[in-house]
Amino acid sequence: MFALDPSSTAETGGWDRRAGFLTEGDAAYARREEDRAACTILGVTPSWLPFGSVDFDRHGDEEAVRNAVRSLLDGAEIVLLPGSPLTHPDHEWLHALVVERLPAPRVARYAEQPYTLRASGSPFARTDVGVRDRLAKWRAVSAYRSQLPLLALGSARSRLRLVRADERVEWPEDLVDLPL
């Protein structure tokens, strides 16, 4: 959603500066490469929108963002959104946009990690996952090298705690009993 503009020369601040990036473009490029690696591990295809995160210019007004998101949602059978605790302003903004202004036919909300783990929360129902899923999660999480130290996940022990945390999802009613 807020994947930044890879061609931007705007200086970083906040989060991306602490991650070692000098420009928005540097951050966008590196983070997309990390995302591409993680998505390959999980067998999914990423879609990035060039809008700025809370630390940057949005590169578009709310209508432009809404239209771009709407085009990604067209034809989707289910949309998986951050759902709790929504402590990051970009996650909260995206959730409100989709749920309130662009209602999708089926929206599932997931407990955001590592934020939920840190809050000792347990929103939504536990979703069973197997050993292969946990291993894939370990490998995918480890792909985000620039982000892990900032999330206090730089050590193998901290990542293991995250990978072992329950997956919690609030599924749409018509999908609750379906095997995934």
Copy the structure tokens of residue 164. Answer: 């072992």
**Domains within the chain, CATH numbers bracketed:** 14-175 (3.40.50.10320)
How confident is the model over 130-155, as pLDDT tens digits? 999 999 999 999 999 999 999 999 99
Residue labelled with tokens 């903004």? 93
How confident is the model over 29-53, as pLDDT tens digits? 999 999 999 999 999 999 999 998 8
* 124: CB partners within 8 A, 6+ apart: 83, 84, 109, 110, 111, 168, 169, 170
Rounded CA-CA distance 45/112 in Å is 20
Q: Is 98 helix (H, G, I), strand (E, B) or coil?
A: helix
